[in-house]
Amino acid sequence: MATAIETPQASPWLSLAEACRYLKVSRRTLYRQIELGHLKRYYIGDLPRFRVDELDELMRAGPPPARAPTQRQKDGTEAERIIEEMGAR
């Protein structure tokens, strides 16, 4: 017997949990894709929903580019550069 996840065309909308299972990703990963603008979240009432065709398109697009370094990572890199410069003197 097929489930809604195996045949998502039965409904064009998936809940957050269903979308995570469909893509085989964590909630955090799904929210990150929303934050980066790679995926749109719709609300039906108070509940977030995701369109199956947009989830499919996200997967067809391939992995997103690497995230930009955080400020903390940038600061660490800058500190390492300064330390190297000081050691060279």
Average pLDDT value over all residues in the chain = 81
Are the C-beta atoms of residues 42 and 50 closer than 8 Å to each other? yes
Examine the pLDDT at 5 and tell me if it is beyond 80.
no
Bridge partners for 43 per DSSP: 48
Q: How confident is the model at residue 6 (pLDDT cuts 50, 70, 90)?
A: low
For the chain, which domains are there? Answer: 8-64 (1.10.1660.10)
Q: How confident is the model at residue 66 (pLDDT cuts 50, 70, 90)?
A: low
